[in-house]
Homo-oligomer: A and B are copies of this chain.
Amino acid sequence: MWDLEYDVVVVGSGFAGLATALEAHEGGATVIVLEKMHAPGGNSSISGGLVAAAASPLQEELGIVDSPELLAKDMFKAGQDMNHHDLVKIVAEQSTDALRWTIEKLGVEYKPCLNILGGHSVARTYNTANASGSGIIRPMLQACRKNNIQIRMKAMLSEIVRKPNGRVEGVVIKDGYLFPSGKSGTPLRIRARRGVVLATGGYSRDIAFRTIQNPILNEKIESTNQPGATAEGLVAALKIGATPIQLAHIQLGPWASSDEAGFGVGSMFSMLAGFPYGILVDARTGKRFVNELSDRRLRVDAMLKKKRFSIAITDSSGVRFASTLNKCLKRGVVRQYETIEQLAIENNIKLDNLLVTIERYNRSVSLGHDMDFGKPLQKDLQAIETPPFYAIRLTPKVHHCMGGVQIDREGRVLDIETHEPIPGLFAAGEVTGGIHGASRLGSVAITDCLVFGRIAGRNAANEPF
């Protein structure tokens, strides 16, 4: 019947999958991690490595007042209150625990400062020392190696095996799969004595699947994701009766550059410099048009609605925390100018209008409040006036799928007919739905993956068989 047998079978090797594997192992289970691509880490590896944590040690040090309740409130606001409240509470309450776990257990290194990202009420976002999710994935992989947790590459999930009694007992994979060839690989049946944990991520790169849910997001819209961000794992779960939830909620990132493919290096520049310490203008008008630190959905809507030519502009004071600046300059994603005049000419912005915009914004900075769009101005914010100046051209790209399978507080996948847990099936991370509602806040994805990955791992290890 089965070719291989483990206590816990984890599908996916990003933040959620590896957190699951480590905790399940810690709980005494034998564990295998399945990854369809030729290398582990999925999207997590190429993410910006931003982790939201409420009431964190660094916040205490810096005197920033925060709480899980405030983080949850920010998540509800961005999510248009369509979030599943009980799950949000868990993410918010365990956010700092999850962060501590990465530091104390895995040895992850973070920069000694906090970032404020769009939609957050306060600066609460840690960033890995290398400004990349790989700063977390690598230590996770090291920990897996140290604990002899096998990660099987080119292992494509083709079926979740659910028995007539309702219990999930294992998976069928295509072993030796060569993405994206549907014909490659040979069937291998892997029993999960205790549980299968789905951590297969989102479907931002699955154009067929995403356009069914939202036809606007056709093949012309780029994505920040790696090519493996496709829907097979989610589909396999839906085929055995998992509950789909909010699949049409698909988020675009407002900070991605039109001058490079994917997430690239420019996204982090916009997030850490252009938006908090600069302005976002429409090149055709030279005017600001949105609070640069509002929720992603609001920013993207503002960018797309009038087909704006969006450019983020900052100066030398604004790039202090832009750790990807040099890479951006080298790749031509961010351009540097000695004067605003030069910046305006080379980007086809009407100089007079841009000067008025900057002057007015600088007045807001000196007043300490944004007169036009209510952007929360940071204490260390300076006027845009010190050369050199920097500009990055932006275009929204498909970034995150808020929808997925429904889970309960224990990370168990719920049956579409009974609304009860499917015995033996868990899920964590972007493949789940409902936590982020209509729009996910930046830097909460990693927190979500870590928190629910750990919960799913602990519970799967203890599932009776």
A404-421 residues with Cβ-Cβ distance < 8 A to B are 406, 416-417, 419
Copies of this protein in the complex: 2
Q: Which stretch (A212-220, A283-291, A333-341, A387-395) binds chain B?
A: A212-220
The chain B residue sitting closest to A85, CB to CB, is: B215
Q: Which residue of B lies closest to A301 (CB)?
A: B80
Q: Separation in Å of the A358 CB from the closest CB of chain B? A: 34
A458 contacts chain B at the CB level, 8 A cutoff: no
Does A139 belong to the interface (CB within 8 Å)?
Answer: no
Establish whether residues A212 and B434, one from each chain, have CB atoms under 8 Å apart when the complex forms: yes
A90 to chain B, nearest CB (A): 15
Decide if A247 is an interface residue (CB 8 Å cutoff).
yes
Contacts of A84 in B (CB 8 A): 215
Task: Check B215–A83 contact: CB distance below 8 A.
Answer: yes
In the assembled complex, which residues on chain B have CB atoms less than 8 Å from the CB atom of A213?
Answer: 245-246
CA distance A83 to B248 in the complex (A): 11
Q: Is the CB of A208 within 8 A of B419?
A: yes
Does A154 reach chain B (CB closer than 8 Å)?
A: no
Q: Report the count of interface residues on A (CB-CB < 8 A).
A: 28
Q: Does A120 contact B (CB under 8 A)?
A: no
Chain B residues with Cβ below 8 Å from A243 are 212
Q: Which of B235, B248, B419 contacts A416 (CB 8 A)?
A: B235
Contact of A82 among B83, B215, B403 (CB under 8 A): B215
A40 in the interface (beta carbon within 8 A): no
In the bound complex, do residue A235 and residue B417 qualify as a contact, i.e. CB atoms below 8 Å apart?
yes
For A214, what are the chain B residues with a Cβ–Cβ distance below 8 Å?
82, 246
Q: Does A244 contact B241, Cβ atoms closer than 8 Å?
A: no
Indicate whether A397 reaches chain B with its CB closer than 8 angstroms.
no
For chain A, residues 44 to 94, give those with C-beta under 8 angstroms from any C-beta of chain B.
Answer: 81-85
* A238: interface (CB < 8 Å): yes
Measured in the bound complex, the distance between the Cα atoms of B241 and A247 in whole Å is 16
Contact assessment for A212 and B417 in the assembled complex, using a CB-CB cutoff below 8 Å: no
User: What distance in Å separates the Cβ of A300 from its nearest Cβ neighbour in chain B?
Assistant: 13
Q: Are B82 and A239 in contact (CB under 8 A)?
A: no
Identify which of residues 394-448 in chain A touch chain B, using a CB-to-CB cut-off of 8 Å. 403, 406, 416-417, 419, 434
Q: Does A249 contact B (CB under 8 A)?
A: yes
Query: How many Å from the CB of A6 to the closest CB on chain B?
Result: 26
Given A81-B216, A215-B85, A238-B238, decide whether A245 and B248 contact each other with a Cβ distance below 8 A.
yes
Asked whether A406 and B248 contact (CB < 8 A) given A238-B238, A239-B416, the answer is no
Q: Report the separation of the CA atoms of residues A215 and B80 in the bound assembly, to the nearest whole angstrom.
A: 10
Nearest B residue to A80 by beta-carbon distance? Answer: B216
Residues of A233-284 contacting chain B, CB below 8 A: 235, 238-239, 241, 243-249
CA distance A208 to B419 in the complex (A): 8
A163 CB → nearest B CB, Å: 15
**CA distance in complex: A247, B406 (Å):** 13
Name the distance in Å between A224's Cβ and chain B's nearest Cβ.
21
Question: Contact partner of A244 among B82, B85, B247, B249, CB < 8 A?
Answer: B247
Closest-CB distance, A129 to chain B (whole angstroms): 38
| 9 tightest Cβ-Cβ pairs between the two chains A and B | A246-B248, A244-B244, A235-B417, A235-B416, A82-B214, A81-B216, A208-B419, A212-B245, A239-B241
12 CB-based A-B contacts, threshold 8 Å: A81-B215, A82-B214, A83-B215, A85-B215, A212-B243, A212-B406, A212-B434, A213-B245, A238-B416, A245-B248, A246-B247, A246-B248
